[in-house]
Amino acid sequence: MYAMLARTVVAYFDNVPQAPADGILQLSVLSKADSNSRKVDLGVGAYRDDNGKPWVLPVVRKAEQQLAQEAGDHEYLGVGGLPALTNGAQKLIFGADSAAIREQRVYSIQTISGTGANMVGAVFLKQFKQPTDAAVYISKPTWGNHRNIFETAGHEVREYRYCNYSTLGLDIDGMLSDLRAAPRGQIIVLHACAHNPTGIDPTAEQWAQIADVMQERAHFPFFDCAYQGFATGNVDRDAYAIRLFVERGFELFVCESFAKNMGLYGERTGCLHAVVASSARVAAVSSQMNRLSRATISTASAYGAKIAGKVLQDPELYNEWIENMELMSARIMDMRTQLRARLEKLGTPGDWSHVTSQIGMFSFTGLNLAQVERLRTEFHMYLTNDGRISVAGLNTGNIDYVAMAIDNVVRN
């Protein structure tokens, strides 16, 4: 009987191909398996202190202690998320004096960190984009998950030039040319600050040029903001591009994550913000965003939202959070300065000024694949195949070794 049943069972999953390996996750596996005492993990996208350890922000510890004393419950959040988080996040991104907030033209929904915000926004646009055949344009290069998210949502994904691989600076002419050449009404994914993986950000003047072209071509801005306050230590400076586009009158999406700037990596705390032209449109837009959230996660997770909401709403905690971010930002800037100084002192071939001109957690070193592989096999240094390093992985205990290793593979 069992033999007969076995013959009638359809091998439903036989046609499922193996998915491409995720480079970052694969790198993490390799690093964890390496027991060499000189190992340096420069792949992880998370802040580390000068001892190479994860750092829980002191302000987060305080918020957790306050939550424990309040003896709250574990009930579901509403479909839109925790208002203390979403309202606080709105003011953080757009500014407390934002005309868009004052005119009630912003709707914010809590998401599963920045990735969840990207996905909800991607699915929303697949259903409602104008024109219906609009493609999504991502920078070359970009965060490794952007293409995956938008293609999974059903969009055609194209690229616009971003990094000048000769200077390791911004290819502003190539970017503007590609945005002009794109058909009208395309969806343009923009990194608000601390571009991942390059660390290359446009200047204020260049952001104005980008906004000009996008207005001329009626493109839709889709901002991804994972490093506000973490990039420069100044939340207003890091939100400059978003606020410029809002002031220019764009309708847009902003994806916001509290993983990096609040250290809530595993709590998956974020928001998706929609800015619309008229408050009369908010009801329809919010209803569809809520529907999509309900279909995917039902309701958002509470614990990280309660921590972030408390920090954003309590003036004393908020000010301490700013100080915590300034500390993280300053340490990363110092590591950039020290790495560049050591490479220049060693006389490492090439121009290393890009190490300090780039900003945020990551630096696009310019190292090629062969050099990256040598660093991995000979020096137990783990960085992505495109030469990106997490500057947060550098510390006073390993920076001399890292500089020596880079010098070796570049020189030889």
Q: Which residue has the tokens 């608000």?
A: 192
381 forms beta bridges with 40
As given in the structure block, the two tokens for residue 42 are: 């420069």
* Residue 260 designated active-site: yes
* Residue 224 designated active-site: yes
Catalytic: which of 55, 178, 207, 260?
260
* Residue 310 designated active-site: no
DSSP one-letter code for 54: B
198 φ/ψ angles, rounded to the nearest 5 degrees: -90, -25
In whole angstroms, give the CA distance from residue 289 to residue 94: 19
For 233: left if phi > 0, alpha if psi spans -120 to 50, otherwise beta; the answer is left
Q: Are 148 and 157 in contact (CB under 8 A)?
A: no
Give Rg (Cα) of the chain: 22
Alpha-carbon torsion (263, 265, 269, 272), positive or negative: positive
In whole angstroms, give the CA distance from residue 6 to residue 28: 40
In whole angstroms, give the CA distance from residue 65 to residue 58: 11
Catalytic: which of 55, 143, 207, 352?
143
CA angle 217, 220, 222 (to 5 degrees): 140
Catalytic: which of 41, 171, 201, 224?
224
Catalytic residue ranges = 143, 224, 260
